[in-house]
């Protein structure tokens, strides 16, 4: 299933980069959105070690532990396949959970760069597209599992 998500995301990236509005700013937005969607998935709502979290443990056990610990509260309060899997809303919950502390730190340290909201929006849409594919595959996979 994860391979399917990665392939779909790759197709999304390819279609974006193939269009005439390709610019370094747009390409970085798509790349970061695709990367965020790849590592910050709706399944972070699962308590315990998920497939995605295992990737971090494979990179380094400490990185895996810290990543899982960071998402502990999110997993604790999000019902599996609930709001976290809703199109756009679920992505927004992870976006907020991931970036609001970073933005608050940046503001507190007076390091806040001027944000290009078009860039932020594009990053979010690519990330959300990947999450929608994830949610769709979850539904399809569940219905296939129920059928057979």
| Whole-number Å distance between alpha carbons of 46 and 60 | 21
By CB under 5 A, is residue 53 in contact with Zn ion?
no
- Site for Zn ion (CB under 5 A): which residue of 33, 43, 78, 97? 43
| 38: contact with Zn ion by CB under 5 A | no
The residue among 61 and 82 lying less far from Zn ion, judged by its C-beta, is 82
- The stretch near Zn ion (CB under 5 A) out of 41-49, 57-65, 90-98, 117-125 is 41-49
Binding part of the chain for Zn ion, among 31-39, 112-120, 121-129, 132-140 by CB under 5 A, reads 132-140
Evaluate whether 33 touches 124 at the Cβ level (below 8 Å): yes
Residue 138 touching Zn ion (CB under 5 A)? yes
Q: State how far the Cα of 130 lies from the Cα of 39, in Å rounded to an integer.
A: 11
d(CA 33, CA 124): 6
**How many residues bind Zn ion, per CB under 5 A?**
3
Residue nearest to Zn ion (CB): 138
Q: Does 131 bind Zn ion (CB under 5 A)?
A: no
* Separation of alpha carbons 84 and 87, rounded Å: 8
Q: Which residue has the tokens 């999450």?
A: 131
Q: Please give the C-alpha separations between residue 141 and each of 20, 138, 148, in angstroms, as whole numbers.
A: 36, 5, 11
- Which span (8-16, 39-47, 71-79, 107-115) binds Zn ion, by CB under 5 A? 39-47
Tokens of 103: 């933005």
Point out which residues bind Zn ion (CB under 5 A). Answer: 42-43, 138
């Amino acid at each position: 299933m994860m391979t399917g998500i990665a392939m779909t995301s790759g197709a999304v990236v390819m279609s974006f980069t193939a269009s005439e509005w390709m610019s370094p700013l747009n390409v970085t937005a798509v790349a970061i959105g695709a990367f965020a969607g790849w590592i910050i998935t709706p399944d972070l709502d699962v308590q315990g070690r998920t497939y995605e979290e295992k990737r971090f443990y494979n990179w380094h056990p400490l990185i895996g532990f810290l990543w899982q610990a960071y998402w502990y509260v999110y997993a604790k309060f999000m019902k599996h396949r609930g709001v976290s899997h809703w199109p756009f809303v679920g992505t927004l919950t992870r976006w907020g959970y991931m970036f609001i502390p970073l933005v608050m730190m940046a503001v507190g340290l007076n390091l806040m760069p001027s944000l290009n909201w078009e860039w932020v929006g594009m990053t979010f849409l690519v990330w959300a597209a990947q999450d929608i594919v994830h949610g769709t595959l979850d539904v399809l996979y569940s219905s296939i599992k129920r059928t057979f």
